[in-house]
Amino acid sequence: MPLSKKRSAAAESTELVKRAKKDSCNDDPMSACSSSSTAWAWDGDSQVSPSSTQTMSNQVPSLAHPAPVFKGTAVVDGEFKEISLEDYKGKYLVLFFYPLDFTFVCPTEIIAFSERAKEFRKIGCEVVACSTDSHFSHLAWTNTPRKDGGLGEMNIPLLADKSMTIARSYGVLKEDEGLAFRGLFIIDRKQTLRQVTINDLPVGRDVDETLRLVQAFQFVDEHGEVCPAGWKPGAKTMKADPTGSKEYFKSEN
């Protein structure tokens, strides 16, 4: 590579890292860390509107209610792209939050979900990862080799929430540190919230269990029967009434 091109690439990489390290609370007068907003908040990275039944008070949204609406800049296939909850209407969506880019447990989770993205798409489900880092930080992380703790090529979007409004609206913001707990939300085709799990920072999540839950909710949507503990596709389900449930219990005991 010519020396001029090497210098240009190095300068670009340095600029990405610098921009990734910016403190959004100092840069952004509309940042959610300096004010409590109940309307649209926008900082160039993320935008959230509370649904008709939810507020932006850092409380976990209610199951069986509309998922909080969001919009923001994501890294998709190495490019910056605006994405929103509306983009996923008619599909299932797994939205999961993680604490920080360039950390330790986080890349293991993100890579695991990315490597299984095709399995989710086969059943009409998309996966989006989100943190309070900037989209520049996300891009720099994807440009870092996995052997060095980076993500490498990604099959899922990395959504930037530098203003912390999305994490706050989903009730996973660790206010004193400005980062998100490991929240995971399953949102159905009608954009209703069907499942919530939130882990403390040190422990990662299980992709197999997430996939199983999506499959179970989809089965219920289609067939109207309910899924017992540990249900997997092909296993027996039961009708949600006294007579129907007895048929299941007799067959299993």
What amino acid positions are annotated as catalytic residues?
A: 106
pLDDT in tens, 194-218: 999 999 999 999 999 999 999 999 9
pLDDT at 203: 97
pLDDT at 247: 84
**Does residue 132 surpass a pLDDT of 70?**
yes
**Does residue 24 surpass a pLDDT of 90?**
no
**Does residue 47 surpass a pLDDT of 70?**
no
Q: Which fold has domain 3-204?
A: Glutaredoxin (3.40.30)
pLDDT at 57: 57
pLDDT at 249: 86
pLDDT at 15: 52
**Does residue 23 surpass a pLDDT of 60?**
no
pLDDT at 19: 53
pLDDT at 9: 43
pLDDT at 153: 96
Using 50, 70 and 90 to split pLDDT, how confident is the model at 54? very low
Domain ranges of the chain: 3-204, 206-253
More confident residue, 80 or 15: 80
Average pLDDT, the chain: 84
More confident residue, 232 or 55: 232
Would you list the DSSP string of the chain? --HHHHHHHHHHHHHHHHHHT--HHHH-TT-TTT---SS-EESSSEEEE--TT--SSS-PPPTTSBPPEEEEEEEETTEEEEEEGGGGTTSEEEEEE-S-SS-SHHHHHHHHHHHTHHHHHHTTEEEEEEESS-HHHHHHHHTS-GGGT---S-SS-EEE-TT-HHHHHTT-EETTTTEE-EEEEEE-TT-BEEEEEEE-TT----HHHHHHHHHHHHHHHHH--B--TT--TTS--B-SSHHHHHHHHHHH-
